[in-house]
Amino acid sequence: MEQLQNRRITVTGGAGFLGRALVRQLKEAGAQVFVCRSCEYDLRQRSACERLIADSNPEIVIHLAAVVGGIGANLTSSGRFLYENAIMGLELIEAARKAGVEKFVASGTICAYPKFTPVPFKEDNLWNGYPEETNAPYGLAKKLMLVQLQSYRQQYGFKGIFLLPVNLYGPFDNFDLESSHVIPAMIRKFCTAAEEGSKAVHLWGSGEPTREFLYVEDCARAFTLATACYDGAEPVNIGFGREIHIRDLANLIARLSGFSGEIIWDRSRPDGQPRRCLDTERAQSAFGFKASTSLEDGLRSTISWWREYSYGQRASAAR
C-alpha cells in the first residue's frame, strides 16, 4: 500500500490480540513499525507517553492498548477500566499532539453505544443515550478519546480518527475464563467438555441477546486501510454487519468443537446489551473496507488454533 510505504508508525498494544495482526499487515504494506509494550512504557504516566513518542519518533500513532474483559471483568473492575483506559488516551493523544505527530488512530469500542441503540447501530446514534450498565465505564472511557480528538482537530488542526470495532475473535485471543469475551470462553468450555466427555456446559445469561463478531484479520485490514486512506473527524464502525443470537452462537461452537451434550443457561447472570449489530456503510464508502471472513470459517480457524495452543501448553507443563 503506497500510502504507508516507509511511514514511521507506532502501535500501542502491538504485541496483543489485534495488535500482532495489525503490525504484520502494516509491515507487509511497507511501514516501519515500532511496537509499544506495556513492560517498557506505562501509558498511564505522562512521562512514559512522552518518552514513547521521543523514542519512536512516529509520523503516525495507532492506539490499541486497553484494559479489557468480558461482562464479569467489567463488573468487578469497573473503576480500573474507566481510569486506566481514559488516562492512557488523554496522556498519549496530548503527547502526540505536542510532538507534532501527523496522524493519530484511536481504537474505540462498540460498548460506547447507548444501551437501546436502534439496530443496526449507526455512528450518528453514538450520543443518543447512556451505554449498557455492565460495560459503561469502559465504553465511556474510550468514547472520551473521540471527544478529545475532535476538539484537538478543531483547536490545533491535529489529525485524529476514531474507529469503533465490534466484538473481535480469532487466534491469540484471551482464553482466560475469568476475563475473556464470549467466543474464546465458549471455545475453551466446549473444547474442554468434548475432550473430557462432559455431559453439560454451563453458560452465562439467557442466550437471547444478539451480538456481531469480526475476525481479527479482517479488523486489522480495516485499521490498515483507515490509517492509509481516512482522515475524517467522524467515527467509523468496523464490523461484519450481521448479528447472531448468543444461543445460536453457542450451538454453532458446540458443533464445531465436537460437543454433543447439554447446554445449561444460568439466567441469574447478566445478559449485557440486548442487541449489537453495526451499520458498516461508512467504512466501505470512506476507505473501502468490507469484512470477508464468515463466522463459521473464522470459528473453525480459532478452534483449531486453540486446540494446538492448549495442547502445546499441556505438553510443556508435563515435561
- 258 versus 310: the higher-pLDDT residue is 258
On whether the pTM is more than 0.85, the answer is yes
Question: Which pLDDT belongs to residue 76?
Answer: 81
Mean pLDDT of the chain: 94
Q: Which residue bears the cell 450451538? A: 251
Task: Tell me whether residue 152 is one of the annotated catalytic residues.
Answer: no
From the candidates 138, 169, 215, 230, which is the catalytic residue? Answer: 138
Which pLDDT tens digit goes with each residue over 282-312?
999 999 999 999 999 999 999 999 999 987 7
pLDDT at 319 over 60: no
Residue type, 48: A
User: Which of the four pLDDT bands, split at 50, 70 and 90, describes residue 274?
Assistant: confident
Q: How far apart are CA 158 and CA 149, in angstroms?
A: 8
Answer yes or no: are the C-beta atoms of 64 and 18 closer than 8 Å.
yes
Q: What is the pLDDT of residues 121-144, one digit of tens each?
A: 999 999 999 998 888 999 999 999
> What residue ranges in the chain does DSSP mark as E strands?
8-12, 32-36, 60-63, 103-107, 160-165, 167-169, 200-204, 210-211, 213-215, 236-238, 244-245, 262-266
State the average pLDDT over residues 102-106. Answer: 98
Give the model's pLDDT for residue 156.
98
Note the CATH architecture for domain 2-318: 3-Layer(aba) Sandwich (3.40)
What pLDDT was estimated at residue 301? 98
The domain limits of the chain are 2-318
- 314 pLDDT exceeds 90? no
